[in-house]
Structure 1
Amino acid sequence: MDFKTGPTAKKWYPVYTQPRAEKKAHQALITKNIEAYLPLHRQLKQWSDRKKWVEEPFIKSYIFVNIAPHEQADVLMTKGIARFLYFSGKPATMPTRQITELKLLMASPYELEVTEENLQPGEKIVIKAGPLKGMTGEVISHKSQKQLILRLESIGHSIIVNAMASYIERF
């Protein structure tokens, strides 16, 4: 839980990176002993002469850092970091629970997709079985399948997860 307050309390902040600099910026933050999380997913890339599985950033141009407010300058002075995201004039923060859920999603066997489209709110649901048990979200109809939407409002993205209807319960 995020109960600590004050100048030394650490919070998760989404930071925006320069284009295609996520991995190098993440490594530079780790080298500075700054706790950072870069969600990666495996993707099959095709070139003219070969195919290869590569790890790509799940949310392009974003890294999440767990820092105290006085460490913001250290993050901004890291090569590849462009800026913090702001909400109502303050750097946006994310609850630890959302980072934990994002890590859980990345480790799950579900097929994941990120979208920036503004999805309309639907029924509120909770997943009642499987590795995502207890996670909440909204249901939409897409490609004639039921899908769970986990909205990460603080970064303006939504995550779509294919979930079996039997795993979903309305609340």
Structure 2
Amino acid sequence: MQAFKRPYYWHAIYTRSRAEKRLYQELCSKNIECYLPLHKELRKWSDRTKWVEEPLLRSYLFVKVSEREYYDVINSSYAVRYVTFGGKAVPIPEQQIEALRLFLEDENRKVDLCPGHLEKGECVEIVCGPLKGIQGEIIQIKGKSRIVIRFDSLGTCVYTDISLDTIKQVQPVMR
């Protein structure tokens, strides 16, 4: 008689704040397959600079589990809950996890994330460059890196190629 083989699926799990590496180690010690995407960052302190590996996606870890191990993961010390949709954990296709792994293995590729989804009407602040500190409103999005921003404080609109890592979303200023 052939043994029944349970299907394994990748899922994303929320971790406690800044506990991604600890949850990863805990699950590995339980022989649960997991993946923590890391990227190198140059950190500056007052006395030194150093390259450190940081989680690419803060508070997330990917686990490949069957129904049997599903609850073992959530009962771990640093796990909060699965990423769900309609009350069910969302399975992630294997090829998406593999694509993320291959993408991060390329050391010549700089990886940046844009938090959230930028839309027309959102308020943003320039965080570096000659316009650092100036806040404006997104008027138009043209492709992945070309946006039009209206700066009330400057009395004009700026149409430019701008890297999304040079802006951050902010709450609109009440007048």
TM-score by length of 2: 0.65
Give the unaligned 5+ runs of structure 1: 1-5, 121-138, 148-171
In the alignment, the residues of structure 2 paired with residue 119 and residue 38 of structure 1 have an alpha-carbon distance, to the nearest angstrom, of 26
* Structure of higher CA gyration radius: 2
Q: Distance in 2 between matches of 1:93 and 1:20?
A: 24
Instruction: Map 1:14-33 to 2 at 5 A.
Output: 14-33=12-31
Aligned to 2:44: 46
Aligned-partner Cα distance in 1 for 2:87–2:5 = 18
Once residues 15 and 7 of structure 1 are traced to their aligned partners in structure 2, the CA distance between those partners, rounded to angstroms, is 24
Cα-Cα RMSD: 2.2
Residue 132 of structure 1: aligned partner:
none
Please tell me whether residue 144 in structure 1 is matched to residue 142 in structure 2: no
Given residue 113 of structure 2, which amino acid in structure 1 is its aligned partner? Answer: V
Q: Per-residue deviation at 1:46?
A: 1.1
- What is the aligned partner in structure 1 of residue 111 from structure 2? 112
Write the letter of the residue equivalent to 1:103: R
Give the SS at the match of 1:115.
Answer: coil
TM alignment of 1:1-171, pairs within 5 A: 8-108=6-106, 109-119=108-118, 140-142=144-146, 144=161
1:63 is aligned with what amino acid?
L
Task: Output the CA distance in 2 between the equivalents of 1:101 and 1:35.
Answer: 17
Considering Cα pairs closer than 8 Å and 6+ residues apart, tell me whether 1 or 2 has the greater RCO: 1
Query: What is the CA–CA distance in structure 1 between the aligned matches of 2:118 and 2:20, rounded to whole Å?
Result: 26
Whole-angstrom CA distance in 1 between matches of 2:5 and 2:163: 44
| Aligned residue pair count | 124
Q: Tell me how far apart the structure 1 counterparts of residues 61 and 16 of structure 2 sit (CA, whole Å).
A: 11
Query: If the length of structure 1 is used for normalisation, what is the TM-score?
Result: 0.66
Structure 1 Cα separation of the partners of residues 21 and 103 of structure 2: 20
Identity rate of aligned residues, in percent?
A: 38
Stretch deviating more after TM superposition (77-86 or 33-42):
77-86
- Show structure 2 runs of 5+ residues with no match: 120-142, 147-159, 165-175
Moved more, 18-27 or 79-88: 79-88
Deviations 1:111-160 (A, max 9, x none): 1111222156xxxxxxxxxxxxxxxxxx512472799xxxxxxxxxxxxx
- The list of structure 1 runs, each at least 4 consecutive aligned residues, that deviate by more than 6 angstroms after superposition, is none
